[in-house]
Amino acid sequence: MRREDSAETIRFCRNYLDAKPETGFVDSDFLPSSIKSLPADLATLVNCAKGHLYAHHRRDKKLVYSRLSTHIGNSLIVYYPKGDASSSPVYGSIQYIFSVDKEVRFAVHCHRPAVVSFDPFALYPHFPAKLCSSTMTELVVVDIDWVITHFVRWPFTGDYVVVLPLYRD
């Protein structure tokens, strides 16, 4: 069951048996799930009443993404809107991991930009932290390929948070 060249059915069984029972953690690519009614806010966003919901999703056998209600740290993502690397990265938290077809996607609440005259972290170009508003946007759909990395978040004041991307080498 541990061989990488094993049949897809065997890989599914291995993945299912390796799941942590307390969290139901399984790669969403291999877990067959039944179609369920989507939460109202997600159904409105994707214009579809039924789909698949997941607690976690593993990308490239390395990165684990989770919805906010499952694991806050793994829900914090940095992504380029529409995958456009020439735009500014956006910091958000995954509310839902879902699929309404075969493609797994995220529904994300994003931090609004900080409205300040001066970001104190701008003085430190080699320390990529920045201020963001603590208020969040409405849900948006994010393709997994748009995601750059995870980030950490600290409260700064009641109106602002500090975000720091966790780039991998």
Can you give the pLDDT at residue 23? 40
pLDDT single digits (tens) 42-101:
999 999 999 999 999 988 777 889 999 989 999 999 999 999 999 999 999 999 999 998
Residue 156 lies in a domain: no
- With respect to residue 16, please indicate whether it lies within any of the assigned structural domains: no
Q: Is residue 123 assigned to a domain?
A: no
pLDDT-derived band at 1 (thresholds 50, 70, 90) equals: very low
Let me know if residue 92 belongs to a domain.
Answer: yes
Q: Between the CA of residue 70 and those of 65, 66, 74, 136, 148, what are the distances in Å? A: 10, 6, 9, 19, 21
Whether 108 is in a domain gets the answer: yes
Average pLDDT over the chain, rounded to whole? 84
Can you give the pLDDT at residue 3? 61
pLDDT higher for 119 or 141?
141
Mean pLDDT of 109-119: 92
Q: Which two tokens stand for residue 100?
A: 């309404």
Quick check: 145 and 110 in contact, CB under 8 A?
A: no
For 21, 54, 95, 102, 127, the CA distances from 25, given in Å and listed in that order, are: 7, 9, 17, 19, 34
Q: Is the dihedral of CA 89, 93, 97, 100 positive or negative?
A: negative
Q: Which pLDDT score is estimated for 42?
A: 96
Is 104 within the bounds of a domain? yes
Number of domains in the chain: 1
Residue 120 included in any domain: no
Contact 153, 72 (CB under 8 A): no
Structure confidence at residue 106 as a pLDDT band (50, 70, 90):
very high
Residue 165 in any domain: the answer is no
As a whole number, mean pLDDT of residues 130-134 equals: 95
**Domain span at 75:** 24-112+135-150
Mean pLDDT of 138-165: 94
Express each pLDDT in 12-34 by its tens digit. 555 544 544 334 444 444 454 56
Q: What is the pLDDT of residue 167?
A: 80
Q: Is there a contact between 128 and 91 (Cβ–Cβ < 8 Å)?
A: no
